Structure formats: structure tokens, C-alpha cells
Amino acid sequence: MAFFRSRWAAIRRHPALAAITVAFVVLWVIFGALIGFLPGSVLMAALALLIWWVVLEVVARRRARAGRAAPTREGRTAVVAGVAVVLVGFGLMQAVPYGRDHSNPPVTGEPTWHDEATRTLMVRACFQCHSSEVSYPWYAGIAPTSWAVQRHIDEARGKVNYSQFATDPGDADETIEVIRDGSMPPAYFTRFGNNATANLTDEEKAQLIAGLEQTPGMSEDDPGEQGG
């Protein structure tokens, strides 16, 4: 309890510092939500705060033991500890193997697309996640973004991988539905002007749906549907 009381007192002594820290954490979590990485960003923010807290406590105890008054230069210590936590944490994240293996599973056979235009639109809007032809963007090499990218791609391929339609159609029979209701491509993917080529105009969307209606297996009420 004394632990929390002393930290709380420190926060009250440095309201500006505390406000900046809280603002930074909140912005980070909002950013995480916008790029579809909410659980990860909340976890990281919580971890960073926890580590920062512990570092400050250790510093305060050492100071106290050395006979110096804990509050002196406390604000500066907090800033230095905060920056160090962020930098060291960022460095450690880069060592995590998940998200670095930018491999593509084998191509076993795509749907029999109605025409080349249908395929081109699908490649533009969907293949960055639902295919074995993912070209990883530069930011997919840097954690924690690499984790978010990898998780989206793993999840997306788990639902349907159009490059493996021949062996496993997955949820391909929901293709027309998700394009029509606008849930795919996901909003976070094209936010902030990212992946602009995946943004289809209304005309392109209509053209794509028309093409998919002539492509076997793309809708549940398709008589030639092969999926399940």
C-alpha cells in the first residue's frame, strides 16, 4: 500500500509529466484500435507502465538507501526511465520470432474466376491477406506492427485462402456477402490512406460482384457451390 501511496504522491508532484504519460498511453491504445491491434496495444501499454513503475520504485529505493531525498530530480528520473523502457522494450520486441517469417504457403489452385478483371479486383482488394501471394510491406518487418500484420494474415488465411481454393475452399462461399456488406476488406486496412489500391470504387465493387456471381463457389446460394 505504501508503494502505491508513494507513487500516487509522485504523480501529484508532477502533474504535467503524469498527464503526458497518460496522453501517450491513450493515443497508443487508440492507434492500436485503428490498425486492428487493440488487445496487443493495451497489453503493451500496461506492460510499459508496469515496468516504468518498477524502475521508478527501484531508483527511489536506491536513492533512499544512499541517504538522498527521493523526490529530488524525480521528474527527470521518470522521463529517463520512460524513454529507456520504450527503447529497451522496442529492441526486445524485435527479437521475437513471430511475424518475421514472411513465407507464403503453397498455391494449390485458385477459383475459376469469371474473367481476368474479376481476378485483378480480387487481387487488389483481398490477396494481401487471403492468398499465398502476400507481399509484405516494409512496416511488416518491424515489431509490433509485424505481429499485427502476421496475425491478420494468419486469421484471414484460416478463413479462406483463395490460392488454395482447389484443396480447401474454406469460407469462400461468403465472398460476395462480405464484399456486399462492406465488411471486407476490413476498415483498418485502408485507413490513413494505407493500401489505397484495396479501396474499390462503387463501380468496381459492382463489377467485382457481377464477376463473382459467375465464379463457382463464391456464394452460398450458388448451385455450383463447392465450399462448406
Contact residues for ligand HEC (CB under 6 A)? 125-126, 128-130, 152, 155-156, 159-160, 171, 174-175, 178-179, 184-186, 189, 198
In this structure, are residues 17 and 78 in contact, taking their beta carbons and an 8 Å threshold? yes
CB of 215 to ligand HEC, least distance (A): 11
Residue closer to ligand HEC, measured from CB, 14 or 180: 180
Of 57 and 204, the one with the shorter C-beta distance to ligand HEC is 204
| Smallest separation (angstroms) from ligand HEC to the CB of 129 | 3
Q: Kindly write down the DSSP assignment for every residue of 15-72, as one continuous string.
A: HHHHHHHHHHHHHHHHHHHHTT-HHHHHHHHHHHHHHHHHHHHHHHHHHHHTT--TTT
- Contact between 171 and 165 (Cβ < 8 Å): no
| Nearest distance, CB of residue 27 and ligand HEC, angstroms | 22
Smallest distance from ligand HEC to CB 205, Å: 9
**Sequence-ordered list of residues with C-beta below 8 angstroms from that of 169, at least 6 positions apart, any chain:** 111, 160, 217, 226, 227, 228
Nearer Cβ to ligand HEC, position 91 or 105? 105
For ligand HEC, give the closer residue by CB, 82 or 111.
Answer: 111
Nearer to ligand HEC, 21 or 219 (CB): 219
Determine the Cα–Cα distance for residues 228 and 217; give it in Å rounded to an integer.
9
Residue 158 neighbours by CB under 8 Å, 6+ apart: 170
**Could you tell me the smallest distance in angstroms from the CB atom of residue 38 to ligand HEC?**
13
